[in-house]
Amino acid sequence: MDKNERIIIIGAGVFGLSTALRLKEEGYNAVTVLDRSMPPVSDGSSNDISRIIRFDYGDPVYADIAKEAYDLWKTDDYSDAFYSAPCFWVCQEGTPEEPIQLRAQEYSEKTKRVLTEIGQEWTAVKTVAEAKQRFPQLTGELASPGFDGFYNTAAGWADAGKAIARLASRCVHAGVSFITGPNGQVVDFEKAPDGSITSVKTSSGVEIAGDRFVVATGAWTASLVPAWNSMLAAGQIVGYMKLAPEEVVELRDIPIYFNFSTGFFCFPPHEGTGYLKVACHGFGYTNSNSSNISSPPSKPPASRANFIPEDGVTRLTSGLKSIFPQFADRGFERVGICWYNDTPTGDFILDYHPEHKNLFIATGGSGHAFKFLPVLGKYAVGCLERNLSDKLLSKWKFPTQFRERFQSNIFTGDGSRGGPERREMTGSEKGTFDAALTASARQAKI
Ligand SMILES: Cc1cc2nc3c(=O)[nH]c(=O)nc-3n(C[C@H](O)[C@H](O)[C@H](O)COP(=O)(O)OP(=O)(O)OC[C@H]3O[C@@H](n4cnc5c(N)ncnc54)[C@H](O)[C@@H]3O)c2cc1C
Ligand SMILES: *[C@@H]1O[C@H](CO)[C@@H](O)[C@H](O)[C@H]1NC(C)=O
Ligand SMILES: *[C@@H]1O[C@H](CO)[C@@H](O)[C@H](O)[C@H]1NC(C)=O
Ligand SMILES: *[C@@H]1O[C@H](CO)[C@@H](O)[C@H](O)[C@H]1NC(C)=O
Ligand SMILES: *[C@@H]1O[C@H](CO)[C@@H](O)[C@H](O)[C@H]1NC(C)=O
């Protein structure tokens, strides 16, 4: 590839920024990142107080790459946003009447097998009593009968907003150009007769020309480019509970707790905000139009809207209660929807669009891409340059087999999700969500 090509990257999340930095490191001269807003973007999926960093995976490919990333998180380049903590995975022994539990147990077994294969030690926790002995702060009932769990101490979490801010400033230092706000919000593409892209149109009316384009717009991607049903934006629930300073100290050494059956997970306290954060790695909520294109809201809010559906509040509360009964009635100070861009298999998409030969798609995080921040750019650019093993190129290729048929049930992911089936938000939920977005915009103006 010609190092003087003008490369336009749309999206300043973990996919876009890591790709931009890597391109500069490889000597590309003209790399520009566009976004609706400055990174860390208020409602971007790469922005939050925490993301799990682990290499516990049922899929050996991601286990290997995540281990490579984990080793880098601990180095000086990334460690100021990284906090070590064991990752404690729990599930129930499944029965045929409970397919979700069987699937959870199967994923847990696969993960332990992969860890053993890559030479990583893990510790089995066979009973609730053992769990409480190892992690005495977990005072809830956890689960019985049929409790099954394990933990890996080679894990931790990252302050995602901080890590993205760091990555963005490294991009600036490396010479990446940024255009944000209405001049950076892409609404359309200009095409040559052969389908290749010549420029993007932005919401301010400005056009930006380029030679190669990278679409790294996360959950917004299917509403920007024809996605051929290869991805689905699904909203996931997050809750933030305020802790007193002494509670932050008391819970400092808790593990990251992840219930495979429900997808519920909880982080150690975030000292800067005093928040105890809980979330669910589930199938999520869609926000679709009548063509079945699900999308997050397009206008960037001042901060993530303080809204999740009521059944989501119930799930977060009951998960929290099962580990920390003392917090059952405290309520969340804030909640929010964070968007996954799901693919059918949970694999990323790092490939050229089948109809536009200079349009590279870098997305499909499927709820697990953040941890790869230190290495994602290397793999994305490897795919962009077609300079990677066939195995990886084919793992991350643009899925074309669903082009003609939308079926939300193809998005089953990698088997790691828990909880209820995916569903569309109701009209009244969408109304409440809109009102919360408006409130967030109003607050910003004050
Ligand atoms: C609740 C939750 C928990 C998660 N937990 C973990 C975890 O523990 N560990 C982990 O590894 N991963 C986790 N993930 C997944 C991870 O955060 C995502 O896979 C990753 O951040 C996605 O990055 P992205 O760059 O694709 O998307 P984003 O960060 O959303 O970036 C896309 C960007 O595109 C911009 N954009 C959109 N449309 C346009 C447009 N038209 N013009 C210009 N710009 C546009 C947006 O403003 C946005 O900044 C979690 C995700 C969520 C939602
Ligand atoms: C996981 O969640 C299920 C459903 O709420 C619950 O029955 C079980 O006790 C939880 N298990 C653990 C170990 O937290
Ligand atoms: C649904 O959204 C897509 C992407 O934004 C758009 O192209 C399509 O026209 C919309 N369909 C309807 C019926 O609004
Ligand atoms: C949208 O999805 C539903 C459920 O999968 C399906 O019944 C319907 O035909 C789809 N509509 C369009 C326009 O694709
Ligand atoms: C391919 O990747 C290797 C290893 O990263 C690198 O040395 C080489 O320059 C790359 N080749 C091209 C054509 O980009």
Q: Which of 387, 390, 392 to mutate to test the pocket of ligand 5 (most atoms within 8 A of CB)?
A: 387
DSSP code string of 107-127: HHHHHHHHHHHTT---EEE-S
Closest ligand, as measured to the CA of 223 = 3
Predicted model pTM: 0.97
Our mutation pick for probing the ligand 2 site, out of 128, 261, 315, 320, counting the most ligand atoms within 8 A of Cβ, is: 261
Report which protein residue has its CA nearest ligand 2's atom 11.
143
Could you give the domains of the chain?
1-85+155-231+343-415 (3.50.50.60)
pLDDT digits (tens, 9 = 90+) for 346-392: 999 999 999 999 999 999 999 999 999 999 999 999 999 999 999 99
- pLDDT score for 411: 84
Residues 6+ apart with CB under 8 A from 80: 162, 166
Average pLDDT of the chain, as a whole number:
95
Report the alpha-carbon distance of residue 191 to residue 334 in Å, rounded.
Answer: 43
Q: Is the CB of 403 under 6 A from ligand 4?
A: no
| Planar angle of CA 390, 392, 393, nearest 5 degrees | 60
Q: Check residue 426 and give its pLDDT.
A: 98
Q: How far is the CA of 91 from the centre of ligand 2 (A)?
A: 7
- Say how many Å lie between the CA of residue 431 and the centre of ligand 3: 19
Which protein residue has the closest C-alpha to ligand 5 atom 11?
A: 387
Q: How far is CA 345 from CA 229, 367, 412, 414, 415, in A?
A: 12, 12, 7, 6, 9
For position 446, what pLDDT does the model report? 52
Q: Which of 88, 90, 92, 130 to mutate to test the pocket of ligand 2 (most atoms within 8 A of CB)?
A: 92
How many CB atoms are closer than 10 A to CB 67?
Answer: 20
Residue 403 · residue 48 · CB < 8 Å: no
Digit-coded pLDDT (tens) for 122-159:
999 999 999 999 999 999 999 767 899 999 999 999 99
Place of tokens 């010479």: 175
Q: Say what percent of the chain tops pLDDT 70.
A: 99
Is any ligand 4 atom within 6 A of the Cβ of residue 402? Answer: no
DSSP H helices in 79-207: 99-117, 128-134, 160-174
Alpha-carbon Rg of the chain, whole angstroms? 21
Indicate if ligand 3 lies below 6 Å from the C-beta of 206: no
pLDDT of 187: 98
Q: Is the pLDDT of residue 214 over 70?
A: yes
> Does position 253 have pLDDT exceeding 80, yes or no?
yes
pLDDT at 64 over 80: yes
pLDDT of the residue at 414: 83
Q: How many Cβ atoms sit within 10 Å of the Cβ of residue 284?
A: 30
Neighbour-count burial for 229-255, b at 16+ CB within 10 Å, e otherwise = bbbbbbbbbbbbbebeeebbeebeebb
319 CB under 6 A from ligand 1?
no
User: What residue type is 328 in one-letter code?
Assistant: A
- Tell how far the Cα of 381 is from the centroid of ligand 5, in angstroms: 10
Both tokens assigned to 31: 């790399």
User: What's the rounded Cα separation, in Å, for the pair 396 and 382?
Assistant: 11
Q: CB of 288 closer than 6 A to ligand 3?
A: no
**pLDDT digit string, tens, across residues 312-337:** 999 999 999 999 999 989 999 999 99
Q: Which two tokens stand for residue 422?
A: 């995916």
Q: What is the pLDDT of residues 46-58, one digit of tens each?
A: 999 999 999 999 9
Over residues 257-282, the pLDDT tens digits come to 999 888 999 999 999 999 999 999 99
Ligand 2 center to 280 CA (angstroms)? 13
Enumerate residues lining ligand 5, CB below 6 A: 385, 387
Mutation to probe ligand 2, out of 105, 148, 260, 262 (largest number of atoms < 8 A from CB): 262
How far apart, in whole angstroms, are the C-alpha atoms of residue 432 and residue 196? 41
Q: Which residues pair with 9 in a beta bridge?
A: 33, 214
Take atom 4 of ligand 2 and give the residue whose Cα is closest.
262
Measured in Å, residue 141 CA sits from the centre of ligand 1 at 34
Position 441 scores a pLDDT of 79
